[in-house]
Amino acid sequence: MMVLYILLAIVYGISWVLQVVVSQIFFDRISFMIEGEMEVITILKALIVMGITYIFAQFMNGVFNYYGQISNMKLGKEIDNLFFKRVDHLAPIEYEDTKRLDDIHKAESGSKGLFWVSTTILDIIFFYGTYFLFMSGYLYTFNPILGFCIVIIFIPCIFSKLINSVFFRNLEEESAPIKRKVEYYKLCMVDKEFYKETRILGATAFFKRLYIQGLKKLNHLKMNTQLKKSISDFMINIVTVFSYGVVLYMLFLSVMNQQVTVGAFAAILTNLGRIYNLMDEVISERFGWASENIASVENFLNFIQEDEKQKKQDMPKEFDIRLKHIGFTYPMSKKEALSDISLTLYQGQTVALVGENGSGKTTLCRVLMGLYQPDKGEIFYGDHLLSTLELMNISAVFQKYCRYKMTVSENIQLGEFWKKTDEKELKGICKDVGIHLEQEHFTNGIYTMLGREFDGIELSGGQWQRIAIARGLFKNSNMIILDEPTAAIDPLEETRLYQDFAKICKNKTAVIVTHRLASARIADRVIVMKEGKVIQDGSHEQLISVEGEYKKMYEEQKKWYVNDRNI
């Protein structure tokens, strides 16, 4: 595509020079006719050739622009692919780092400018380059200085535009974190997830103030950059106007010295306006525009080039998990969220992870799954270091699960989206997690659309949670992690659900985070965490028979369940 684009650019550039040449021939013949040295028919022939050349140039203009649009669409698709592929390879911990979020943001805006910057560079070299090369060659045949002039006046402009690109690179750097904040404040006011609470709190005015402050800062930065740009543009324009005058003067001298024919003078003069416009377009618009965007395109290129270097191995089918002296601290945080954890989780074991809020349960799950790399210690899946393995065969249901606005079946099958839909299997899993499809609510069974966005039905928090659990359980995996996915489900129902989990998770290694100890009972083993450390480890029976954190929590919670026969 690029080769064809370049060829079209060259032909289009030549067609412009041809127009000047045929105009010269036409004007020359008119002047000969006036002197009585030529017949009208010869002039008519020149006129026809000139007409054809002009039509050809217009035709090339259409073809070139049309092909540009097609290439734009195709390239846009490829660029998006590169971007999504890179995002798919990002380590999840990178999302905890605000600088990284800015990089992603900047890369995304850079991906939009890539086509225009790359085609501008191609256009400058092959279309404008061809045009100026042939044009200066043509002028050179009359007067060598004239030929050089047209190229030399071009050079200082390029330099000053490169300076502009530095201004815009700085603007990108400074405005990315502000843009992210501004977008977030907007979301807090208008997004479906936020607006109810924001309204009730009466906090819209608060967010609006922050939003406007952010916008003002952005505008201020933009204005500053625009001012610098305008000053440098003004300087360029002076240079360009001056050179335009010099070319005119040179031309005038050349005619007086009879180096340039009258026809050539007329042709160049009529085309000089076009040359000037073209130069202006190249320098002020296309080149200027490209130099403004080159900074953001650079961000995109850096982003996609730092893709994972290491090829990872497939996960073993069955494995024990060994954690050796694991320590983990979040980026931009000083306190260790996990400290010196050593454990072995055996294949097929169901482990309940309990402990007060902030004790490190969620972080341990993420480290266990390989989503976060520990700063200290090592994790082995069987004999392999976890960091050398491709993350597969693992399934998880998170506290903050996603509400995908798609059908029930799509929601559940996401982890196995390539598989053919097996209605029976899907219905079975819905039943297991307590989604009653026969209810009127699900008008189209497993094909019912969820969420109001696309005219679907809205679910309660508990129902959404069950859909997320079904999704986690449906995925074919050797290991499943359930990080307290049942907060919106009532405690007795939760206990029943956990008993079903135990059945579904049979033969799988399962880690269940819960703060309701009635659910922890179903596990083979209970691990108690406090302040990032494991403080107790044993079966439910073992742990309630000794004095300690678990027994204390258990006694506390017993009061909640006086009517529950399970306790």
d(CA 137, CA 124): 18
- DSSP code of residue 92: G
- Of 359 and 495, the one with the shorter C-beta distance to ligand ADP is 359
- Helix H, strand E, coil C: the string for 420-435 is CCCHHHHHHHHHHCCC
- Of 263 and 532, the one with the shorter C-beta distance to ligand ADP is 532
- Of 135 and 481, the one with the shorter C-beta distance to ligand ADP is 481
- Helical segments of 310-378, H only: 361-368
- Range 444-481 burial, b when 16+ CB lie within 10 A, else e: eebebbbbeeeebeebeeebbbbbbbbbbbbbebbbbb
- Of 313 and 333, the one with the shorter C-beta distance to ligand ADP is 333
Q: Which pair of structure tokens corresponds to residue 434? A: 């307590």
- Write down the least CB distance from residue 373 to ligand ADP, Å: 14
- Of 347 and 557, the one with the shorter C-beta distance to ligand ADP is 557
Q: Which pair of structure tokens corresponds to residue 67? A: 């092909």
- Write down the least CB distance from residue 353 to ligand ADP, Å: 8
- Write down the least CB distance from residue 333 to ligand ADP, Å: 4
Helix (H, G, I), strand (E, B) or coil at 310: coil
- Write down the least CB distance from residue 95 to ligand ADP, Å: 9
- Write down the least CB distance from residue 461 to ligand ADP, Å: 19
- Write down the least CB distance from residue 487 to ligand ADP, Å: 12
- Write down the least CB distance from residue 533 to ligand ADP, Å: 11
- Of 53 and 362, the one with the shorter C-beta distance to ligand ADP is 362
- Range 254-274 burial, b when 16+ CB lie within 10 A, else e: bbeeebbbbbbbbbbeebbee
Angstrom CA distances, 351 to 346, 478, 506, 511, 567, stand at: 9, 14, 12, 5, 19
- Of 180 and 228, the one with the shorter C-beta distance to ligand ADP is 180
Which residues contribute to the site for ligand ADP (CB under 6 A)?
A: 96, 330, 333, 337, 355, 357-363
Neighbours of 315 (CB within 10 A): 21
Whether the Cβ atoms of residue 30 and residue 82 lie closer than 8 Å to each other: no
Whether the Cβ atoms of residue 348 and residue 334 lie closer than 8 Å to each other: no
- Of 403 and 533, the one with the shorter C-beta distance to ligand ADP is 533
- Of 330 and 404, the one with the shorter C-beta distance to ligand ADP is 330
- Of 220 and 552, the one with the shorter C-beta distance to ligand ADP is 552
- Write down the least CB distance from residue 339 to ligand ADP, Å: 11
- Write down the least CB distance from residue 335 to ligand ADP, Å: 6
Neighbours of 319 (CB within 10 A): 21
- Write down the least CB distance from residue 531 to ligand ADP, Å: 8
Query: Any bridge partners for residue 500, and if so which?
Result: none
CA dihedral 476, 519, 353, 90 (to 10 degrees): 40
Closest CA to 429 of 437, 441, 439, 440: 437
